[in-house]
């Protein structure tokens, strides 16, 4: 009886994770950036010291499994890369959330894994 119960739970788990990622919550990525570290004592237009800037970059079209790290409300780093994603709206993701990123013509959709 116990092994039957474990088998049923295993099947239910498989069914819940076999759904298409297209059914997950999606978030629009409107730009991709690369971070450039600056020399010490670099100033912005207001005279404030800054350590880095983010410059637009291109990402090859495709579908990627990614893990993200929050930098600010709309800016997230793709872990294991030097690429940052800027979202149209704050996606309220957690650091180290995983999902699927679809990129076409340097625009993207991040599908948040449940």
What is the average pLDDT across 31-47? 93
8-38 pLDDT per residue, tens:
444 444 444 456 989 999 999 999 999 999 9
Please identify which residue in the block is written with the tokens 């997230």: 76
Residues of the chain with pLDDT > 90, as a percent, come to: 70
- Say what the pLDDT of residue 18 is: 53
- State the pTM of this model: 0.77
Distance from C-alpha of 113 to C-alpha of 26, rounded to nearest angstrom? 9
Distance from C-alpha of 114 to C-alpha of 111, rounded to nearest angstrom? 9
**3-state class of 7 per DSSP?**
helix
């Amino acid at each position: 009886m116990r092994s039957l119960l474990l088998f049923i739970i295993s099947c239910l788990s498989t069914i819940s994770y076999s759904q298409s990622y297209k059914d997950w919550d999606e978030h629009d990525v409107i730009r991709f950036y690369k971070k450039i570290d600056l020399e010490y004592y670099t100033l912005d237009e207001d005279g404030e010291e800054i350590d880095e800037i983010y410059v637009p970059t291109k990402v090859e079209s495709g579908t990627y499994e990614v893990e993200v790290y929050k930098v600010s409300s709309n800016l997230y780093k793709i872990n294991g890369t030097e690429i940052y994603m800027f979202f149209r709206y704050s996606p309220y993701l957690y650091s180290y959330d995983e999902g699927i990123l679809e990129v076409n013509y340097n625009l993207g959709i991040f599908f948040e894994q449940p």
